[in-house]
Structure 1
Amino acid sequence: MLFEDLLHHFPNDDDIAPVDDNFPRWTESDGTYAPFIPTSLARVKLALELAGCCSGDKVLDLGCGDGRFCVAAVTLFGAQGGIGIESDETVVVLAEEKRNAVLGPNSSSTVIYTCEDFRESKLAQDNSISIVVVFLSPEFGLECKGLLLKHYNRGARIIALVFDLSDIKELIVKEGCNNVDGIWVYQKPTTTKE
């Protein structure tokens, strides 16, 4: 599937930007972490490119919204699958509808969406996850520190959008991936034997 084909299901910035500049558009009724504010498909693609997404990867999107990261990873990069966790049930239904429209009605074995608190999710603990996506404020990033470090220390790349994860001192930004269009990619450095 081509990027242009995905745009029919996941609009880009021009189609989703608010009329007035009211970011972060966050009210108490938006839930624990943040309201559903879609990331443009162009930024999704760039973030996955910066993280080096490929066929061996499995993506975990914490606060997945309409599921665009998981679907893009599978369709554009050939990733083996994705797990999207979202606390808003109506948004999970939307993600499932979009997944089925793009990947087909039997795609729930490739891309899974669930409505739950990712701090308590067994799916979020999956050791086959190789890329973790977060769009969390600094305080909520710290609240998820244990989960993020678990995956990071196993070698997973962590994509942070809009807010960096600089308060988690153990995370190291991947070379060339520090605040590129509001995207940070963290990757544990590989050690080489001399």
Structure 2
Amino acid sequence: MKNRVFIHDHVVPTCLVLAFVLASIPCHTALSQVILDGQEKIKLDVPYEPSSKEVVGAMLEIARVGDTDVVYDLGCGDGRIVIAAAQKKGARGVGVDLDPERIKESLENARKANVADRVEFFQQDLFQTDIGKATVVMLYLWPEVNLKLRPKLLRELKPGTRVVSHSHDMESWEADQTMTSSEGHRVRLWVIPANVTGRWEWSMPGEKERYVLKLSQQFQKVSGTFQSGPDEISIKNFELRGDRLQFTVERSFNGQIQTLRFVGTALNHIMKGTEETMPRAAQGKRTWKANRIPSSMEPLD
């Protein structure tokens, strides 16, 4: 929903600041955090503009929302996206909006849709919202707000979390997938990538040489070098989606060009998986586990 974004230049009286820690999603009733009536009306930076049912359907489709997902809508309006996720996909949902009228409307809509046990709504600043439990994040915000939110998404969301935006992009962070709704509206999907920047080191069983991988990263695009012995070689075909990765290295070995294919996952400062040598080596696939030098890690945004 394109609306309801708290701009930090807006001064909110201290009496409106509510202390809140987002707990795990309840399984009994829809909850809300609403500023009481009679207090100063909050000025919103953009008008309420809901996404159509067709666009909501496209957003759920491109994110492949399922019954194990926790869907957050940052700027939820009347709650239609998280309500649809609960009603049609069996997911749980959390809606955040700065407008108390929209929160009240969302609660009523959840009750009417019989999904009040699967959704929560909170009146609060989306930039202050704890989004770490989300597996899907939905957005319909202005382009400049997407950019302001981008570092928070990359910093707080787990690798593999899907982010969907109605209409607007993330500039230099290219979408992993785009689709157009039946009404002609563009919907974009990003998958949060693991941060694999820095220097990684490991040894293979039975080998004296130590392997070194040096990686740089621009969002989901990764490049770097591989070193075993004196030669430092550029890696090829690095693919990263969430925490899953693969890449190849071509090196000269005993007078022949040998291709090493690495497949694995990255979690924090550990990267591990299998390595296969082509032409196929007698030992077949081998496991590998690399450790990152923590000080070599760089932020993604």
TM-score by length of 2: 0.48
Alignment map for 1:64-75 (pairs within 5 Å): 64-75=76-87
Equivalent of 2:144 in 105, 115, 139: 139
| Structure 2 contact 169–175 (Cα < 8 Å) conserved | no
User: Once the 2 structures are TM-superposed, how far is the Cα of residue 150 of structure 1 from its aligned partner?
Assistant: 2.9
Q: Which runs of 5+ in 1 are unaligned?
A: 1-23
Task: Give the counterpart letter for 1:94 in structure 2.
Answer: E
Partners of 2:105 and 2:135 lie apart in 1 by: 25
User: Once the 2 structures are TM-superposed, how far is the Cα of residue 74 of structure 1 from its aligned partner?
Assistant: 0.9
Task: Give the counterpart letter for 2:189 in structure 1.
Answer: V
Partner SS, residue 147 of structure 1: helix
1:63 lines up with 2:61 in the alignment:
no
Task: Give the counterpart letter for 1:191 in structure 2.
Answer: L
Equivalent of 2:95 in 84, 104, 115: 84
| Structure 2 contact 62–179 (Cα < 8 Å) conserved | no
Rg (Cα) greater in structure: 2
Equivalent of 2:175 in 163, 173, 176: 173
Distance 1:36 1:30, change over 3 A: farther
1:149 lines up with 2:154 in the alignment:
yes
Could you give the per-residue CA deviations for residues 129-173 of structure 1, whole angstroms, max 9, x where no partner exists? Answer: 111011111211122122221355522100011211224x3xx42
Equivalent of 2:126 in 118, 128, 140: 118
Aligned-pair Cα RMSD in Å: 2.3
Could you give the per-residue CA deviations for residues 155-193 of structure 1, whole angstroms, max 9, x where no partner exists? Answer: 2100011211224x3xx4224x25663110111413241
Percentage of pairs with the same residue: 24
Partners of 2:58 and 2:147 lie apart in 1 by: 25
Task: Give the counterpart letter for 2:71 in structure 1.
Answer: V
Partners of 2:138 and 2:47 lie apart in 1 by: 16
Partners of 2:100 and 2:170 lie apart in 1 by: 27
1:191 lines up with 2:254 in the alignment:
no
Partner SS, residue 39 of structure 1: coil
Task: Give the counterpart letter for 1:90 in structure 2.
Answer: E
User: Once the 2 structures are TM-superposed, how far is the Cα of residue 103 of structure 1 from its aligned partner?
Assistant: 1.6
Partners of 2:111 and 2:65 lie apart in 1 by: 22
Equivalent of 2:109 in 74, 98, 101: 98
Highest RCO, 1 vs 2 (Cα 8 Å, sep ≥ 6): 1
| Structure 2 contact 82–119 (Cα < 8 Å) conserved | yes
Structure with the largest fraction of helix = 1
TM-score by length of 1: 0.72
Partner SS, residue 51 of structure 2: coil
Could you give the per-residue CA deviations for residues 74-115 of structure 1, whole angstroms, max 9, x where no partner exists? Answer: 111121x111000100111011100111025xx2x5200111
